[in-house]
Amino acid sequence: MESKNQPMLQAIDLSKRYEDGHLALDNLNLTVETGQVYAMLGGNGAGKTTAINLFLNFIEPTTGQAVVDGIVTHEEPLKAKERIAYVSENVMLYPNFTALQNVDFFVKLGGKTKYTKEDYRKVLLRVGLQEEAHDRRLKGFSKGMRQKCGIAIAILKDAKAILLDEPTSGLDPKAAFEFIHLLNTLREEGKAILMSTHDIFRAKEVADIVGIMNLGKLVMQRTKDELVGEDLEKLYVEFMAGYMDEVA
Amino acid sequence: MLRLLIEKELRDIIGSTKFTTTFAVCAILILLAFYVGARNYQVSMNEFEAARSENLRQMEELTNWNEVDHRIFLEPQPLAALVSGISNDIGRTVDVETRGELSSENSRFNEDPIFAVFRFLDLQFIFTVVLSLFAILFGFDAINGEKERGTLRLSFANSVPRDKYILGKLVGSFLALVIPLLLAVLVGFLLLVVMGIPMDGGLWARLGLIVLSGLMYFGVFLTLSVFISTLTEHSSTSFLLLLVAWIFAVLIIPRTAVLLSGRAVDVPSMDQINYEKATLENELWDQDRKQMSEFWRSNPPSENESREESMARFRRFMSELADAREEEQQKLAEQLNENRRNREFVQQKLALNIARVSPTASFALASSDLAGTSLELKQRFVESANLYQQTYATFVNEKTGGMGGGWWSRMNSDEEADPIDPYELPVYEYVEPETSEFINGALPDMALLMVFNLLFFAGAFVRFLKYDVR
Amino acid sequence: MFSVLFEKELKSIFLSPKFVATFGVCSLLILLSVFVGIQEYKNEVDQYNTAVQLSEQQMMGESSWWGIENVVFRKPSVMQVFVSGVNNDIGRSAEISTWVEPKLENSNYSSDTLFAVFRFVDLTFIFQVVLSLFAILFTYDAINGERERGTLKLALSNAVPRAQYVLAKFAGSWVGLTVPLIIPLLVAMLMVMIFGIPMDGGDWARVLTLIGSSILYFTFFIAFGLLVSAFTKRSAVSFLVLLVAWVCLVLIVPRAATMTAGQIAPVTSVAELESQKDRFRTDRWRAYGMQRSKLWEERRTAMEGMTEQERNDYMAANRQAWDEEEATARDATMDEMNEHSRKLDEELRNEKMAQEKLAFTLSRFSPASAYKLTAMNLADTGTSLKNEYEDAMKDYRTTFTQFVETKREEDRRANRGRRGPGSNANDDEPLDLAELPRFDAPKQTYKEAVEPTIIDLGILSVFSVLAFAGAFLSFIRYDVR
């Protein structure tokens, strides 16, 4: 698939059934191309995090494939992960390390060893972490400050694809607003972004494609254009309810 | 309200997997300690009986009471098997002579050093080491853990008085942990009965008090843990602090106290004392030897004296010399021993008083006092052996007609005689002091444990009233 | 990649306040234990020297070779500074006399009971109990703690091979925890030198081997902590599991093993042994008595019908032959009795060895006992110390008795006709002890000390490797979510 808009992230018939029989993800198909933001909406236990875990090969798919830049993740996980940056929900990081030390470690793990401290500081400032916090230990950090460090790490890794698991949880409104701005910049830089969120408004604001998930299934998928003029919130509730009816 | 809080505490502890595992381990260990103690007692009792009858049997062949090699043995005590104290370190056997100083030999650890390598698993050990750790494990996050989980804020969003909360916490966790332990201990008691360990009322009372002081010791660590958890923000910090405190209290302070007092108070070594005794003995012997060789010159046998009579005169003379020598030796020995004992006493007192900074030392002392295996055991055994020596000496003198001991009388008893009946020997019995004496000895340490309890309790209480629940 | 992970591991250890506190405590304890060991050693050397001197003076005070009594002492060994073993439990001195077998008596703990109450802390104890606990304290959340903090997911979202991750984890914790220990240990060694403890090359080699095995033991607990943390999801669980395991391995298994061995393989009691010896002795003497009366019966028959004069002549002529005949029979009886009691003693010793072997084999399920046995073997303060000394003392007794016998013979010749005690020619002059054979304390060579430790070191290595392999395999399949 050597097209210009090559799918960077792709889930093909992706299913995950756990040992206890619970079907966490049911035949997911989605595609995120470079320069696209894909937002997965859904309640708790909808399968959003499972999908992201499959892309990271934290779990093996029962059937189907998660493909990153043409690489099937469960076949060549290390190669696939070179192309992914990841921001997890509510990461604690190392409490005894300073923000810079944390960033330094994870960025180096990402294979980027050429950065200087100044580069780290610049990015930390860009995601909204005050200068005075850079050399403080993470122990006293609030959830939002830790989240900002996590985002900085993802940016510094400079990967082609970015996976975001509830990135705005814990961020104050101002920081959330700045984060959306940041996502737009990243999109313009040509990243493929897959994010899971509870936040319908932000999703509508930033996403090129919105998918609604429930009980492991992708129950609705609309592009930004298709959503123009639609009330996403209403859609969300309708789909959830409709789906519930179907199940019942 | 208090009842609700206590109930919650009980449910919280007893319902946790942490409790199930640790309680299972502790219960098994307690039962093991009782079982092993009872077995040990039975085995050492058999050995004791065998040794005693073997000693008497060996005498059956003898014809002269002066040739008797009489040994007395320290009878194993049932409680010593549960709280071994120093009972394995001191000599259990005394060779009784009609005169001279007695010393105890053959300590268990000297005989079977293999048991000294890892020592025994007794009830005292379980309490001092395992149960104290157990207490810490359940108390370390009593307050700051609730804070970390947010349950503290939630509780105080209601109109709960703080004093009731902390009281409920302390009482609840104490009950939740102690009642199951007591059950295990009761099964252990039952084990003693089933295995036929001869326990009388006094022994049961002492054992009961041992368990009580064990629970008090457990309480010290529990209240200390809750106290520390009110002093710290994070449960990980409080655990680390408690672990360090535990290492110091259980492992370091008692030992260091002994070493410090060993430095501070000089006790003359046994070798030194033995040397002084032996020197005196040699001197006296030299003097007496001269007198002996001159005996016939200065007291020639008179004409009308038969050989028998003159020999008897000489023997009497020898006996007198021996008595005089004996007396002087004994005087020195007593003086030296008393001096050593006094110094030792000062050293012990200092050591134990320093050690009492740690509740572990208090508990160890209280329980070994109650079990009769404290430092006084050695003293008591030697004293009772000395007492027996007098009875024994009188008995032998009666039998031999006051001829005293030693080679001299043996040399003159060539003629065939009837074998003696060793079963006429007065029976030695190690009689333990009154129960009340043991209890009185243990009271100060038990009081100290109580003080530790109250202190930490008060500390936790006061701290919590001002605790930042956010 | 490895170096990044390794570096982070080191940093996270050194930066934690936990580390500062525990490192302080450990250093303090190591130094304290060695300091105390040195002081105790010096004390014991003083005591030993005085005791030897006093015993010699006492012998010199004797005026004849007849009444001589010799007491020999166990020599303190420098290694007890680090490993006290059963040094304080077994006797320090033994009486050497013609009449009885030497037996070590008067242990430190039996004469100074105060010290028995809480016992001593030596370097081995610090490692066995305290440092193993601290190793757990640092590794119990090595894997599951990272999972709980979310850092594991974040780290593994990069192209990091899991094998490298867990290897770096182990190497980092190992270096981070072990290397700082070297500092107090070096200071301790320095202390040993400054206090002038006489260590020879062999002793240094033993100390180094001891430190090596201590670190191996420590390594096991690091790997074990890693293993449990890679097997569990929550750090609270792994901590509890580790604490219970620690209590069992360090405190319970060794004790339970010896006691089980005591039950399974009981040893003949001293009373039983004495009874057997005594019965045999009585039997022999009776047989000897019968033999003697039979001889006299024969002689009487031979002399029947002789006149008084003839009989006296006959007796005078045969007296020496008869005496010799009786002496031979008596010696044979004595030899037989000695042989029998030697055999019984040997049997008892074998029984004890069998018991010991069983106890140690059982206890080796715990690395703590494997470590302690290694340390005791290296320092030669283990259970075999008593046998070693008693054997050496038996040999010495033979030499000593022979020497005294010759001296007595010389005396007898010098005062022919007079017998018995107190009949020395020059009564009041002290004895000349210059020729008296000395007792040489048995000393193991380094090789002899190391050989029996090989099995225990092997066990420790196997335990460590197994623990690490388990941690490794478990982590490869660890659910990082």
Domain ranges of chain C: 2-266+364-476, 270-354
With contact defined as beta carbons under 8 Å apart, do A80 and A160 qualify? no
Dihedral of CA atoms B41, B43, B49, B50 in degrees, nearest 10, equals: -160
Long-range pairs, A186-191, Cβ under 8 A, ≥24: A186/A155, A186/A162, A187/A35, A187/A36, A187/A37, A188/A35, A190/A34, A190/A35, A190/A160, A191/A34, A191/A35, A191/A159, A191/A160, A191/A161, A191/A162
Contacts of A76 (CB under 8 A, 6+ apart): none
Domains of chain A: 1-83+160-248 (3.40.50.300), 91-158 (no CATH)
Q: What is the DSSP string of B170-217?
A: HHHHHHHHHHHHHHHHHHHHHHHHHTT----HHHHHHHHHHHHHHHHH
* pLDDT tier at B403, thresholds 50, 70, 90: low
Beta bridge partners, A42, equal A213
- At B21, the pLDDT band (50, 70, 90 cuts) reads confident
The residues, any chain, with a CB within 8 Å of residue B266's CB and separated by 6 or more, are B343
Which helix or strand (DSSP H or E) is residue C93 part of?
Answer: strand C91-96
Q: What is the DSSP secondary-structure string of C351-372?
A: HHHHHHHHHHHHHTTSHHHHHH
**Least confident span in B60-69, B129-138, B441-450, C449-458:** B60-69
Residue C422: pLDDT over 50: no
A82–C481 C-beta distance less than 8 A? no
Cα C277 to Cα C347: distance, rounded to the nearest angstrom:
12
CB-based contact, B411 to chain C, within 8 Å:
no
Percent of chain A with pLDDT over 70: 94
Q: Is A59 on the interface with C (CB under 8 A)?
A: yes
Percent of chain B as helix, strand, coil, to the nearest 5: 75, 5, 25
User: Distance from first CA to last CA of chain A, Å, rounded?
Assistant: 41
What is the reported pLDDT for A1?
38
Q: What is the CA angle B401-B407-B413, rounded to 5?
A: 55
Beta bridge partners of A71: A68
Percentage of chain C modeled with pLDDT above 90: 28
The DSSP-derived string for B36-72 is HHHHHHHHHHHHHHHHHHHHHHHHTT-S-GGG--EEE
| Edge-to-edge strands, sheet with C105-107 | C70-73, C91-96, C105-107
Q: Which helix (H) or strand (E) holds C91?
A: strand C91-96
Residue B314: CB atoms within 10 A of its CB come to: 17
Q: Is A96 on the interface with C (CB under 8 A)?
A: yes
For residue C256, the chain B residues in CB contact (below 8 A) are 32, 121
Cβ contact, residue pair C258, B115, below 8 Å: yes
The answer for A 146-205 residues in CB contact with C (under 8 A) is: 150, 153, 157, 163
* A68 shares contact with chain C (CB less than 8 Å): no
Mean pLDDT for all residues in chain B: 85
Within 13 Å of residue B93, how many CA atoms lie on the same side as its CB?
A: 20
Of A142-146, B425-429, C195-199, C421-425, the poorest mean pLDDT is in C421-425
Render pLDDT for C31-68 as a digit per residue (tens, 0 to 9): 989 998 898 899 889 888 888 888 888 787 776 777 77
Tokens of C411: 């005396």
Q: What is the pLDDT of residues C87-141, one digit of tens each?
A: 888 888 888 887 777 888 888 888 888 888 777 778 998 999 889 988 998 999 9
What CA–CA distances, in Å, run from B135 to A145, B139, B157, B466?
38, 6, 29, 24
CB contact under 8 A, C54 and B29: no
Predicted local distance difference test score (pLDDT) of residue C426 = 46
Q: Where are the beta strands (DSSP E) in chain A?
A: 7-17, 23-33, 37-42, 63-68, 71-72, 84-87, 161-165, 192-197, 209-214, 217-223
Residue in C110, C119, C369 nearest the CB of B90: C110
DSSP class of C439? P
Q: Which residues on C lie below 8 Å from B136 (Cβ)? A: none
The pLDDT of residue A50 is above 70: yes
Beta bridge partners of A15: A63
pLDDT at B322 over 50: yes
For C:5-34, CB contacts with A below 8 A are 5, 8, 11-12, 15-17
Residue B89, chain C, CB below 8 Å: the answer is yes
pLDDT for position C430: 64
Q: How confident is the model over A68-89, as a mean pLDDT? A: 89
Q: pLDDT tens for residues B186-205?
A: 999 999 999 989 888 899 99
Strand partners, C105: C93
CB contact (8 A) between residue C154 and residue A105:
no
Task: Say if CB C58 and CB B279 are below 8 A apart.
Answer: yes
- Alpha-carbon span C68 to C432, nearest angstrom: 12
The predicted-structure confidence for C152-180, as pLDDT tens digits, reads as follows 989 998 888 999 999 999 999 999 999 99
Q: Measured between alpha carbons, how far apart are the two ends of chain C, in Å?
A: 22
User: What's the rounded mean pLDDT across residues A156-179?
Assistant: 86
3-class DSSP state for residue A203? helix
Residues in chain A: 248
Helices of type H across C112-252: 113-118, 123-125, 132-139, 144-149, 151-156, 162-194, 201-231, 235-246
For the cut 60, the answer to whether the pLDDT of residue B404 exceeds it is no
